[in-house]
Amino acid sequence: MPVKTLLEAVRDAMHEEMHRDQKVFIMGEDIGARGGVFLATDGFLEEFGESRVIDTPLAESSIAGIALGASMHGMRPIAEIEFGDFIWPTINQIVGEASKVRYGTEGKLNAPLVLRAPHGGGVRGALYHSQSVEAFFSHVPGLKVITPSTPYDAKGLLKSAIRDDDPVVFLEHKRTYRLVRGEVPNEEYTIPIGKADIKKQGTDISVITYGLMVHHCLEAANTLENEGISVEVLDLRTVRPIDEEAVLDTAKRTGKVLVIHEDNKALGVGAEVSAIISESAFEYLDGPITRLAGPEIPAMPFSPPLEEMYMINTEKILHAIRQLSEY
């Protein structure tokens, strides 16, 4: 089975879906002639032509608005926002309009679009190239929000997103693009949206996370095996909808839960996961539901030492798990 980077898996998913369905097209800043800022669409313009690989101005609201209009008229656009930090101008089109199309028309219309964006820190990107944006979109009924951690998941979930009949926000952590490698089948496959995946089984503590943090959590879990602490790592993969069944199952199985994400702690995905467990599995717990997340700071610092202090890493995860294990 071929081993690919997460970026290669994303590229393959789009390439295959454009061959499979003539209604699929891609639009965004620099995605044509330059192949995208991360080269996710390198060579697409030459293969599919200007009518299906569309370079746009630096106007994120227009990118989202055109994608919305095209999707409501039978097309399946993949709209790339060059960096998640500049996704905010799309809020009116995606949150205010696209999320409500099916509901507002009583099912007469739908908006099958994918809004792709690289996001996340740890790349010396500072204020405008390091933000995590998943919590904002995860609050909105009518949207699906996907945050893959592996090449296998990225390809299978992106293909499902492109085929979905409702709007999907697909967030790819920049640090995983070339650092994370894994086996990806050549055969056709998709992964259902809204299904979490146990990346490592364990019996003592459940760590629930997604995206880049999955890899730090796995590293910590493997280290703790030598200390006699068995850690289960649950990768949410989709943060809207959250796989409540998987969350509750792992909480009941171990009795101790640590929720980890890079995004700010307050009102984040971890708060929702904690509430789900508190409401439906409280009696199974042997300790407090604990969260490890980004600090309450408006922006990622540019200074490397300060960025390191901001980011969640393996050492911080080890400390949090050891503390929880003492209950």
Determine the topology of domain 197-325 in CATH. Answer: Rossmann fold (3.40.50)
CATH 3.40.50.970, the chain: domain bounds: 3-183
CA 309, 311, 312 angle in degrees (round to 5)? 110
Distance CA 55, CA 237 (A): 30
Average pLDDT over residues 95-108: 97
pTM: 0.96
Cβ atoms of residues 216 and 258 within 8 Å: no
Specify the DSSP element, H or E, that contains 171: strand 168-173
Which residue stretches of the chain are H helix? 6-20, 44-48, 60-72, 91, 101-104, 134-138, 151-163, 176-179, 213-225, 244-254, 269-280, 304-310, 314-325
Cα-based distances in Å from 47 to 15, 22, 41, 44, 116: 10, 13, 10, 5, 21
Q: Out of 119, 129, 215, 216, which one is annotated catalytic?
A: 129
- Give residue 128's pLDDT: 87
Q: Are 85 and 131 in contact (CB under 8 A)?
A: yes
Separation of alpha carbons 1 and 9, rounded Å: 13
Residue pair 7/177 in contact by the 8 Å Cβ criterion: yes
Q: Does the bond joining 301 to the residue before it have cis omega, within 30 degrees of 0?
A: no
CB 132 within 8 A of CB 212: no
What's the whole-number average pLDDT of the chain? 96
Total Cβ atoms within 10 A of residue 136: 18
> pLDDT digit string (tens) for 43-92?
999 999 999 999 999 999 999 999 999 999 999 999 999 999 999 999 99
* pLDDT of 127: 81
Does 173 participate in catalysis according to the annotation?
no
How many of the other CB atoms lie within 10 Å of CB of 66?
Answer: 18
Per-residue pLDDT tens for 219-274?
Answer: 999 999 999 999 999 999 999 999 999 999 999 999 999 999 999 999 999 999 99
Domain with CATH 3.40.50.920 in the chain: 197-325
- Percentage of the chain beyond pLDDT 70 is 100
When pLDDT is averaged across residues 183-208 and rounded to a whole number, the result is 97
pLDDT at 23 over 90: yes
Q: Cβ distance 249 to 201 under 8 Å?
A: no
The CATH fold of domain 3-183: Rossmann fold (3.40.50)
Separation CA 184–CA 187 (nearest Å): 9
Would you state the structure tokens that stand for residue 163, as one six-digit string?
Answer: 């085929």
